[in-house]
Amino acid sequence: MGRLASILALLLFMPATLHLKAKPNSKNNQLLVTADGTVTVRLHAPAQDGKANSCLLAYLAEVFEVNKSSITLVTGHTAPFKKVHFDTIEEATLRQVLTQYQGR
């Protein structure tokens, strides 16, 4: 039964997706979550040559305590509104971490 449970857990794992707004050229990196759930990430890096996107992925990896390679920028490569996919985090875990940043 242990093996079957492990297989079912893998099949039922639903990776998380985060929609956010990035604000480059900020004084420091900061994650903000408003009362309505809107996520804004302030980034120290400038919005040129992919620096802000790279900074975003590195910062999210730090916040969610995962490897940077497990995070993918899906949309918004050249726009402030972005969609980020986490390979190793479930939606519930994502929401739990975000609640720690709400109202900051």
- Confirm whether 19 is domain-assigned: yes
Distance from the Cα of residue 91 to its chain's centroid: 11
What is the structure's pLDDT at 70?
A: 96
- Confirm whether 68 is domain-assigned: yes
Angle at 54 between CA 104 and CA 73, to 5 degrees: 85
What is the structure's pLDDT at 15?
A: 87
- Confirm whether 29 is domain-assigned: yes
What is the number of domains present in the chain? Answer: 1
- Confirm whether 9 is domain-assigned: no
Angle at 92 between CA 16 and CA 96, to 5 degrees: 110
- pTM to 2 decimal places: 0.86
pLDDT tens across 25-49, in order?
999 999 999 999 999 999 999 999 9
- The answer to whether the beta carbons of residues 84 and 74 sit under 8 Å apart is yes
What is the structure's pLDDT at 104?
A: 66
- Confirm whether 1 is domain-assigned: no
What is the structure's pLDDT at 5?
A: 66
- Confirm whether 5 is domain-assigned: no
Regions of the chain short of the pLDDT cut 70: 1, 4-13, 104
> Residue 42's domain spans which residues?
15-100
| Domain CATH number, residue 30 | 3.30.1200.10
What is the structure's pLDDT at 6?
A: 63
List all residues 6 or more positions away from 33 whose beta carbon is below 8 Å from its beta carbon. 39, 40, 98, 99, 101, 102, 103, 104
